[in-house]
């Protein structure tokens, strides 16, 4: 049988570890710095993006398409920032609240189960003691 205090302490230590690790070492795509592609890599991933316009100065000198990559990055960032403005992020306190809520529900369910099993066992024991036994 699980010790409820041990389960609560384990959950609490796990929550503290998760909360402090997020502050110490953030990770994910949000925290990555964008890298510029080399011209050959850009051409590989964007084969149809070349302007075949004679007025383009980069056509004759074969200059880097880096400004195009910067424009694409700026467009992507502006779209991402607009989509993120509507929603709220859940902070460490919200996560801890959710975990404590789930832990409370689990402990409550275990307590109800224990009470039901104990009452059922007591009722069976009481019926056995109250039954009429013939005298020999």
Tokens 């384990």 identify what position? Answer: 10
Residue 98's nearest CA partner among 15, 32, 31, 28 is: 15
> What is the pLDDT confidence band of residue 128, given thresholds at 50, 70 and 90?
confident
Give exposure, 88-103, as e/b (b: 16+ Cβ within 10 Å).
eeeeeeeebeeeeeeb
> What is the pLDDT confidence band of residue 82, given thresholds at 50, 70 and 90?
low
**DSSP collapsed to 3 states, 7-40:** HHHHHHHHHHHHHHHHHHCCCCHHHCCCCCCCHH
What pTM does this model have? 0.35
> What is the pLDDT confidence band of residue 58, given thresholds at 50, 70 and 90?
low
């Amino acid at each position: 049988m699980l010790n409820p205090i041990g389960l609560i302490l384990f959950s609490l230590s796990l929550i503290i570890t998760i909360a402090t690790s997020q502050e110490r070492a953030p990770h994910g795509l949000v925290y990555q710095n964008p890298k510029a592609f080399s011209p050959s890599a850009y051409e590989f991933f964007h084969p149809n993006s070349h302007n075949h316009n004679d007025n383009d100065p980069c056509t004759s000198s074969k200059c880097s398409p880096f400004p195009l990559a910067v424009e694409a990055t700026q467009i992507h960032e502006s779209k991402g920032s607009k989509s993120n403005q509507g929603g709220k992020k859940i902070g460490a306190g919200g996560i801890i609240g959710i975990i404590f809520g789930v832990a409370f529900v689990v402990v409550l369910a275990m307590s109800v189960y224990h009470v039901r099993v104990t009452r059922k066992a007591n009722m069976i024991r009481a019926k056995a003691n109250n039954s009429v036994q013939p005298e020999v």
